[in-house]
Amino acid sequence: MLKHSAQYKYTGLALFVSLLLVIELAWLHVLQPMENRVADAMLARHALKSAPDKDIIIVDIDERSLDLMADSVGRWPWPRSLHAELVEGIEKQHPKAIVFDVLFSDPDLTRPSDDAYFAETVQAQSNLYFPMLLLNPTANGIPLAQYAEALGITKTAVAEPQASVSMVLPLPAMIKSTSLGTHNVLADRDGVVRSYLVYSDVAGWHIPSLPAKVATGLGYGLPNTNNIVLNWHGRALSYQRVSYADIYNDLQRKTPQRASDEFKDKIVIVGATATGLHDVRATPVDGFYTGVEILATAIDNLKNADALRPVCKWLIAVLGVLLIGLLGWAFTRACKLLIIGVALAGVTIALIFAAYSALNWLWLFTILTPLLFAWVYYLIAALMEYLKERKTRELAIATFSRFLDPRVVQALVSRGETMESMSGKSSEITVLFSDIRGFTTLSENSTPEQVVELLNAYFSQQSAAVFAHEGTLDKYIGDAIMAFWGAPTSQPDHALKAVAGALAMSEQLEVFRQQYGALAKDIEIGIGVHSGQAVVGFIGSENRQDYTAIGDTVNLSSRIEGLTKGIARVLVSQETRDLCIKQSGDAACPFAFIDCGSHAVKGRAQPVQLYEPIKKS
């Protein structure tokens, strides 16, 4: 019944923790920040082994470019004629695409000719891509139905005709190119950029991102999702970069010094890494990752179809429930706590390694949440197991203390013995029965209070003698005492200890008589001792059980006690005598045995040879 009760508790706990796991994965997401941190650590390590696409080159508006060009063209923003000259120079090398990470949203009122020059250059090329900035849906924004075609926006079956959106658009010449896409770098709640939108869905209208526009323009396929988890390639500033100033100054030379095919068949991204332009974000691989490199990473992922694919949360939930279920099964099978803990630690390490290895196959396996819930189950179940063991220990101490010396009790409990483990064992033991003579006369001549006080004192002294010789006090039967040696702890010299205990009880009687004088002068005792096989354990009903011994050995010991009257205060059987000699050696035996003859015993066909033990002087 106790076993089934424990099974129900562990099974119920498994169901409860599994339910909490599903709720966390589906709705709460309380552990998501921790999950992100673990995934970030894996991604950062994995990124070190992954090289950026060599066909993507960044023309870098870096600190050096800002310094070198400050004297000749002024401070940033530069005249747009510079960008026009840069485009014309790079186009001579036939790149696949030139992508600007610069938002040309306002006309240069002080240099309109520069804007016109740039517009002519843009219209003359077909592989230029420009960003636009998506703000938010609004009633006062751009009507999507009217400008969708011009902006490359796709209408879906559920598109709302009256939908509008607020956007920051580039100059008209760039809008006419239709090579536009949004470049909105969106961070998670903790401020870290982990993903990139392929397109933005606004009331059923799909607004393409700049990386998606580049990918489709170059003939690369797009994933069937509006969002990709970025697969990072190296830490910040890992993509091949060429200083804007170096390229521009080289184009001004009559005889260029740079390679004439430097940008041939490359995807060229023009953007800034200069810290003064404040275009940096936090990412899993670096706390200061420039926006242009995030753009490069997104284009890289779409070009090579190597964006990460998050494992379905329901599969993670199934894994967590399975893991919790296995733990519940282990606990209901009464497996050792340490073994379960070591096994769970091994599974934890294996799953973390598997999650890290899964990145090689582009799977993002968020494993922390199911593992944490598995450990929560283990810790709660371990606490339950500890409390159960503590309760069992306290019950064992309380139970054993009724019939064993406290030192023996501690030894048994430290060995992990329980009522179940000490039941139904056949052992060779030595049994002692002791009974009071003259108790009836004492009862007639004393008040009930005196009788109870006297018996309590008597039993206390006699049980102390039993415990002093490491005996097990079985029970009090009226004014009789039953004790045995050889169980529950193994005692190779149980016969010697039993006889020593019997003689100590006899000596204790004399002390008792002296203490209580006339009131105890008529008290006499008889002690019978016999050795043999007996069944020892907890015996009784479900509601009450006692640790006792049963069998012929017990019966004969009681019969011998009944024969002591008129013969000797202490009598032992020949089996006990022979065991004493065997257990100590004839010369070393501390007792001498006086032959008291053979005596008929009720229930036995053969007479029993009895001896009176005395201590050797």
Q: Using one digit for the tens of pLDDT, what is the confidence trace for 357-388?
A: 999 999 999 999 999 999 999 999 999 988 88
Residue 78 and residue 180 in one domain: yes
Cα(471)–Cα(405) distance, integer angstroms: 8
Residue 247 lies in a domain: yes
Maximum C-alpha span of the chain: 139
Residue 99 and residue 16 in one domain: no
Residue 203 and residue 278 in one domain: yes
Residue 26 and residue 59 in one domain: no
Residue 527 lies in a domain: yes
Residue 207 and residue 162 in one domain: yes
CA distances from 485 to 467, 496, 534 (A): 10, 9, 11
Residue 135 and residue 249 in one domain: yes
What percent of the chain shows pLDDT beyond 90? 78
Residue 35 lies in a domain: no
Write down the pLDDT at residue 414. Answer: 67
3 state SS of 160: coil
Cα(558)–Cα(276) distance, integer angstroms: 103
Write down the pLDDT at residue 1. Answer: 45
Residue 38 lies in a domain: no
Q: Cβ contacts of residue 378 below 8 Å, gap of 6+?
A: 327, 340, 341, 344
Residue 585 and residue 557 in one domain: yes
Cα(394)–Cα(382) distance, integer angstroms: 18
103 touches 168 (CB < 8 A): yes
Positions in the chain whose pLDDT score sits under 50: 1-2
CA distances from 203 to 160, 166, 185, 395 (A): 6, 13, 21, 69
Domain termination site, one of 364, 392, 420: 392
Residue 279 lies in a domain: yes
Residue 131 lies in a domain: yes
Residue 258 and residue 356 in one domain: no
238 touches 300 (CB < 8 A): no
Residue 336 lies in domain: 2-30+311-392
Residue 317 and residue 252 in one domain: no
Residue 328 and residue 425 in one domain: no
Residue 409 lies in a domain: yes
Domain termination site, one of 371, 392, 413: 392
Residue 176 and residue 61 in one domain: yes
CA distances from 35 to 45, 311, 322, 466 (A): 16, 13, 20, 64
Domain termination site, one of 392, 413, 433: 392
Burial class (CB in 10 A: 0-12, 13-18, 19+), 224: exposed
Please state whether 204 falls in left (phi above 0), alpha (psi between -120 and 50) or beta.
left
Residue 36 lies in a domain: no
Cα(102)–Cα(87) distance, integer angstroms: 13
Does the CA dihedral 71-76-82-88 come out positive or negative? Answer: positive
- Measured N-to-C along each axis, helices 112-124 and 80-91 cross at an angle, to the nearest 10 degrees, of 20
Cα(241)–Cα(491) distance, integer angstroms: 85
Write down the pLDDT at residue 417. Answer: 60
What does the pLDDT look like over 154-209, one tens digit per residue? 999 999 999 999 999 999 999 999 999 999 999 999 999 999 999 999 999 999 99
223 touches 198 (CB < 8 A): yes
- Measured N-to-C along each axis, helices 80-91 and 244-252 cross at an angle, to the nearest 10 degrees, of 80
CB neighbourhood size of 229 (10 A) = 17
Cα(135)–Cα(165) distance, integer angstroms: 7
Write down the pLDDT at residue 404. Answer: 61
Residue 117 and residue 240 in one domain: yes
CA nearest to 85, candidates 109, 107, 69, 67: 69
Cα(353)–Cα(349) distance, integer angstroms: 6
CATH code of residue 561 = 3.30.70.1230
Number of domains in the chain: 3
